[in-house]
Structure 1
């Protein structure tokens, strides 16, 4: 049972400790040493098979993160978002192979290339391969290393290659006692050279989630430890590298992170040196993101510390806050918190468990490389690319630079890689000797029409490409066969750069075959490795627009090779027709791109037609003809086609006014700029408000427009707002309008705490299915989601889940506002205090509605929370200490009604006068059969007869009587046998 008072007291102490610990510098908080225990070569007879009993590794260290509900920027789309995949065609992986097949949960894939070997490890075993992916050893338990590793299989392994020393490093942790176990190969051959093994005790605390990085003066290990006191307790460990390479007794010093803010699980990172050139000793950087959704963080930023270790006088060693790189320094705001900090985030196909997105983690590794004129470091972490309730994971990545002689770090480039609707997470990033960047990651999508099981892919960029973009088209290492059977994923991936050539990337990550977890290794290059290789990468122009019969064709050509090229042929063809071939006479430098414009234009003049343009290059000695041709589609857009794509305000609120601003977004779908666009909005079936957007809207452009005339939403209740454009000769009227439901409520109980998992995380009723509901500020507006309730059926079932459930304390209640007054009365409560006894478990509850319930749309409110604390669950306005409140809509129908019953007993017909002899005939109802409208004069002569369709809230007909004589008229709506009649006057 959770003890909230104890947790709150602990949190209060944490705040006090944080305030007390606001210091810029700290010394080591723990110092120890360990002797080397040598271990011999890995002979076949020495290898111990991996354990056959698979288990869940280290679950106890993964408590829910703590966030401040409603806090944090951005409130809109990620400002660094890359929405389109790179256009440079990349080569497929050089080869792939299975590094491990296991059922350990998670497998913790890690692996690193040396000059002649690839060493792979997982929970809790390892295997060594040659550089072609052939195994040199059997899979073996980590205990096979011997020495201090004897009989140790707790896991969480990490392998590292120290290029400057030509050594492999392998680690795991131990709880007998709590320690790091570290093995250093005695030479470059991990099979035959033997190992020095060490046990570095960690002062009684298990060093969860350790990650190793190499610096000139030590092996640095970051951990997830002492989350409530990370600013004063041991988090960073430094091992005495010089002594370990010699197999001598080595010291360990541990440091806090002064000034850090953490929120439960967290993982900083040390800068890991790749390449033979080590940095100067000292000033070893540590980095961690700080999300402004967390308590104590006012702005999203990257925070850096510098560690200086004096091995001759360890007590004088220091860690000091160094830099905070915020928005002014080039770090765009980010959302690094998922589902209020929980560890169940990303949907999988087949209703498999939601996967942990690995939030609050600097993903392994943070690679540092020295160049002739600067030093670079690359890093990444997962972000949610927009603040909507649905999670959409992307990868925020950075390249920081500093002068080659040291000094402050600056943001050279940043980006958020999320080029489509798939989730991307569990990234690992590296930089090669030429400054090219490779990024491996996991892809996931639960779309039932095109599901993507956890799959491993990569992208990248060349050093001279446009900053902030992964310019290489995404490539697959392996596509997943099955979903993850558990929420735990990874818990990380590992990309390394081959020291043999400095340009080959080795990526190791987790996918699934049935119940097996497979660590798949993909080997790929971005850098040019052949002399002669060119190809087209993009059609620059024309783009989608209103096109002519003489369009100039401009293409972008890439030199993928290491030799400059000139005087080669370039061709284009339209829809498979005859090719137009011309000569590129300039010089295309190695690993660069240039644009080429054909002198012969193309006829693309047919409106609405999508043309396929094939672009081809021809180089006589091209070494890779597979990238010599691309196809691009271009659409000749109709000149006039605009529409409203969103209604941005008003929004559901408490005590809305009689003068609410109405703001919409207008988009130009056509091929010509548009100006003076008629735009309107309508509340319910009331008269429309008609205005004009006067600015120029370019092709493909979008603009936000606020109407001058406000909307009266002061009566409590639900409103349907429809906004549309009314452009003359608009090509496609189906994209003209948007509809939004908002409500004016007498109360919105914001401010309940759901960070412990209280409240509703899953809600299902009829057609409404809402999963992974975010915590927010305790209240969420979902009234645009609606389902039908046929009152003649009698009984209905609602299904809910909560992240928290304990005995009889977490309870659920529900109301339907049947009288549509925006107030949820006691007699409208249809479910009262039903128990949610266990977390992440579905509970179904039955309810009824009256058989005479009013037909049409009504608001539905649900509430859940811990009833031991302040706040009345069954008072729909009460703010609960712990819980959530959500609003939806339901549409009450009755399948037993015949048309006569409906029209005579349920419907109400009104005629609204809109001025200038314009009228609006409205019969509001949810009945959806087609009806007919007729208008007669007082003499009985029929003036009009037409068909009427229900628009969702009733039948509406705009009636123009400007040519009719003054007098009394009758309007009738119904069938030919029965209907409603209303009299109106034309003056």
Structure 2
């Protein structure tokens, strides 16, 4: 023990935090030559069937996450969030086809469209199709490629088409030994030309050294591979690999150079991306970019930004090769703040319908691929990653996307446009983005929604934008490729996809091929959806929006203005534009100006419309008439316009405060006021009350235009310091308001302590004796109504069917004195309904020890958990079965139980004797120490009192103990729950942030 405490003192005094300086240059750490092993053309007799059994592939290896609870911007909503769907009509997919039906988990969908073939791969097989979706090679194991791929099926495949050499490239990882395998087709026919195969070993031993999650990209001087390798120390170890492309194309021995990324930060999973070049012109040699997001919620990152490195290889003298930090694109360079962290770095994030379990949002990943294309006036690259746009404990996944540009002959990159695509309440994630030869951008992704009113099983959809559109907006209305039929069948791990893949057809440079994962029953299915954004017709006009009038107080001579878009490839002028109101007489006029291809213009009719009846909804149908129009589907547009009463305002939401721990005595009340009428509103009288008590009256002195809103914070605060439930009512009090029914909004919230002190036990209500499985707590004192007895060591063997708890209360009054008991099996600090083991049992006699039977649920989680027991007089104020509620009369007590199973091996309980220390240092720097003989990596999870996961990381053993330094200086004050352990068993403990 003396040695152990010496270790604690040493760690307290000394902590290394090596930070690479911007502009730092690193030389290659490792150089190796690999000889090719020939693969041959496929023959039916040599094909190895794809596996059909259920198998978990390559759990993405996570290092010690550096998420700091409570740290990071934005505090509110996403600053560049697109909240509505694009309104430009789009075509449904040209066609779609299934390319995998498997139980491989996850499938890792990937595929590319070359001039004549679509080559598809997944965990751990591949298949080949023609460009109409007809199968040329059925799904077979990746081992069928032969050569270095023989007997190899570790997975994580990626398929790329090297258009500058007219070759296909397939990669996968290997763990025997740790290496990346690459197959390059010998010619443009992937079925018949055969393959060169290579193995490039990645140095080091151990699971953290596996080249996990490898992603390959094409550049002029090599194939660039990024990987989730050495996530604990990526600044000092090989995580970027460059292989000698020119040699591999001709089947000669090829070298690999490996590099660290100086100055990199991550949150425990590490997925930078190389720029994957497409198009007709190969990028110049050198300055190959690598990009990764850097979130200010991570330790060591002060501002959200994109970081770019440049790799320069010298194949004549490899030792002269280097990687260097090139640029940081932050707020000053046009990168808006983002929130890339879900559940403190945990990997079960997004809810599915039917309470089927959460799935992985794939956070902190620059999604594949980061697509580069050269244009005459500039170079472009597009990229995307998932973000959380919901600032509260709820989660709402959306896709943050970028187009960066640089001068055509090289130079610094700049942000040309950015956006966050979140057009409704569904979660969108697992995106893949690409840019076609005309500069149009396509975006494919997964969608899921657990809302009972709009359930969406994991499904595949796409959107996009035209080159000429307003920057930062996905203008094309969303289209479905396939709607999922069932939830993710991986209930245990929540693995989804790992990635998707959107490629651009090499034959025309315009057609997008999206490959993603959805589910039918227990089958994971990969489907390819083929779509096109670039116009295919010479003549194609349509109406995309009614610009004027909008909902307002309307008159008898309203101007009608519309947006006319040229979807075709030829300029248009001299065509007819018409409108009708409620199916009445058609008004037709001629548009005389010229609309260029891909652009939209505003057209205002000279003849006005009578829309003067207040409260009426008018249907306007506007259309174009163009001789030779090749697409009639987008000619007409229908809109509903409402004549609103002049005065109509209301409070539409109460934005603050929200239910949380430890609300105070002077909480600010913030509301959203909306102008629901037809005229601007100014000097709006407002009020709020708490529990229909005295009203607080104030005036919003600004102006709110028609259809707009404003946020107002009352100057007089509210006292919400008492633990319990509150009802806040806020309203507008406008004179002459046309619809008083929409004036007010109610909000129910709770001041949650969940250490419910304040119940009165002085008359004998509550528990004064507790005994469970040999652990006895006698003569419990009545003090604050709450007792913390978590130092107890109650053992419960889940192999036993029944248990008995003995309690005693000093009060009994008919059926009024009752007790309930929970065990927090999922260790999230919340005592949920399905964890309620004893429900409102009546204590029939006072001052008498009474026993009550209960049983553990089947498969109850092993390890240490909190037990909560509450008792009191239910005829008075307070909810016995609300575990955080302060009862009028009663007590709440917490204990610690350890669930064991005598039928299992002893090693399942190796943490039983571990000792967990939580040391709160200056400025809420928490040092966590676990003393145990166990020596495998452990997971640490921190929950707040609402059950929100604040952090989920790994702990590594340092000499005799596991030590983790937790920065809680950014977190709100209150009580938190800590769990340290494996997936099977763990230790739990509360701690306080002051």
- TM-score for both structures, normalised by structure 1: 0.78
**1:852 pairs with 869, 875, 878, which one?**
875
Residue 574 of structure 1 and its aligned partner are, at CA, apart by 2.4
Q: CA deviation at 1:640?
A: 1.4
Q: How far apart are residue 745 of structure 1 and its match?
A: 8.3
- Give me the whole-angstrom Cα distance separating, in 2, the residues matched to 1:114 and 1:13: 59
Which range moved further: 149-158 or 792-801?
792-801
In the TM superposition, residue 743 of structure 1 has moved relative to its aligned partner by 6.8
2:596 — aligned with what? 589
Contact 1:791 1:852 in 2 (8 A): no
CA distance 1:842–1:864, shift in 2 (3 Å): closer
8 A Cα contact 1:300 1:327, kept in partner: yes
2:160 is matched with: 160
| Structure 2 match to 1:898 | none
Q: In the superposition, relative to structure 1, how do residues 185 and 530 fare at CA in structure 2: closer, same or farther (>3 Å)?
A: same
Equivalences for residues 408-487 of structure 1 within 5 A? 408-486=412-490, 487=494
Structure 2 counterpart of 1:822: none
Task: Confirm or deny that 1:674 pairs with 2:681.
Answer: yes
Alpha-carbon shift at residue 521 of structure 1 (Å): 0.4
Shift of 1:626: 1.5
Q: Which residue of 2 aligns with 1:331?
A: 335
Q: Identify the range of structure 1 (376-385 vs 63-72) with the bigger mean alpha-carbon deviation.
A: 63-72
Query: Aligned residue for 2:565?
Result: 558
Cα 1:864/1:479, change in 2 over 3 Å: farther
Contact 1:369–1:431 (8 Å) recurs in 2: yes
Structure 2 CA distance for partners of 1:879 and 1:266, relative to 1, 3 Å:
closer
Of 301, 312, 331, 1:308 maps to 312
CA contact (8 A) 1:14 1:228 kept: no
Q: Measure the CA separation in 2 of the matches of 1:849 and 1:560.
A: 71
Distance 2:863 2:395 in 1: 18
Per the alignment, residue 696 of structure 2 pairs with 689
1:427-446 deviation per Cα after TM superposition (whole angstroms, max 9, x unaligned): 10001111110111111111
Name which of 864, 867, 886 aligns with 2:945: 886
Deviation at 1:411, TM superposition (A): 0.2
- Residues 126-137 of structure 1 correspond to what in structure 2 (within 5 A)? 126-137=126-137
Q: Is the 8 A contact 2:817 2:872 kept in 1?
A: no
Q: How does 1:499-518 map to 2 (within 5 A)?
A: 499-518=506-525
Q: Shift in Å at residue 267 of structure 1?
A: 0.6
What corresponds to 1:780 in structure 2?
none
Segment drifting more, 457-466 vs 35-44: 35-44
| Aligned-residue offset at 1:668 | 1.3
Q: Structure 2: which 5+ runs fail to align?
A: 757-813, 830-834, 841-851, 887-891, 899-914, 929-940, 948-994
Residues 867 and 896 of structure 2 are in contact (CA less than 8 Å); yes or no, is this contact kept in structure 1?
no
> Structure 1: which 5+ runs fail to align?
750-789, 806-810, 817-829, 889-987
Cα deviation 1:336-377 (Å, max 9, x = unaligned): 011111110111111112110110000000000011111000
SS of residue matched to 1:860: coil
Secondary structure of 1:45's counterpart equals: helix
Question: Which of 491, 503, 507 does residue 498 from structure 2 map onto?
Answer: 491
SS in 2 for 1:282: coil
Deviation at 1:845, TM superposition (A): 7.5
> CA, structure 1 residues 660+513, in 2 after alignment: closer, same or farther (shift >3 Å)?
closer
CA RMSD of aligned residues (A): 3.7
Per the alignment, residue 201 of structure 2 pairs with 201
Shift of 1:702: 2.1
Change (3 A) 1:88 1:841: farther
Which residues in structure 2 correspond to 1:81-96 (within 5 Å)?
Answer: 81-96=81-96
Cα distance in 1 for residues equivalent to 2:404 and 2:126 = 33
Could you tell me how far 1:112 is from its partner in structure 2? 0.3
Kept in 2: contact 1:812–1:864 (CA 8 A): no
Check 1:451–1:64 CA distance in 2 against 1; reply closer, same or farther (3 A cut).
Answer: farther
What is the alpha-carbon distance in structure 2 between the residues aligned to residue 865 and residue 99 of structure 1? 51
Quote the offset at 1:725 in angstroms: 1.1
**Which residue of the partner structure matches residue 794 of structure 2?**
none
Distance 1:500 1:215 in 2: 20
Normalising by structure 2, what TM-score? 0.77
The alignment status of 1:700 with 2:724, answered yes or no, reads no
Shift in Å, 1:185 = 0.6
For 1:151 and 1:210, the matched residues in 2 are separated by 19
Q: Distance in 2 between matches of 1:712 and 1:461?
A: 50
Name the CA distance, whole Å, in 2 between partners of 1:791 and 1:276: 83
Counterpart-to-counterpart distance in 2, 1:381 and 1:429: 10
Partner SS, residue 633 of structure 2: helix
Structure 2 residue 119 is the aligned partner of structure 1 residue 119: yes
- Whether the 8 Å contact between 1:18 and 1:229 is mirrored in structure 2 is no
Return the offset for 1:8: 10
Which residue is equivalent to 2:617?
610
CA deviation vs aligned residue, 1:316-343 (integer Å, no higher than 9, x gap):
2111111110011100000101111111
Cα gap change, 1:698/1:791 in structure 2, threshold over 3 Å: closer, same or farther? Answer: farther
Deviation, 1:636, is 2.0
Per-residue CA deviations over 1:851-908 (Å, capped at 9, x if unaligned) read: 33326899638999999545799xxx999967545269xxxxxxxxxxxxxxxxxxxx
Task: Confirm or deny that 1:276 pairs with 2:280.
Answer: yes
Structure 1: distance between partners of 2:9 and 2:226: 28
Q: Does 1:98 align with 2:98?
A: yes
In the alignment, which residue of structure 2 is the partner of 1:838? Answer: 861
Q: CA deviation at 1:175?
A: 1.4
d(CA) in 1 for partners of 2:582 and 2:446? 36
Separation of aligned partners in 1, 2:130 and 2:7? 51
Tell me the equivalent position of 2:988: none
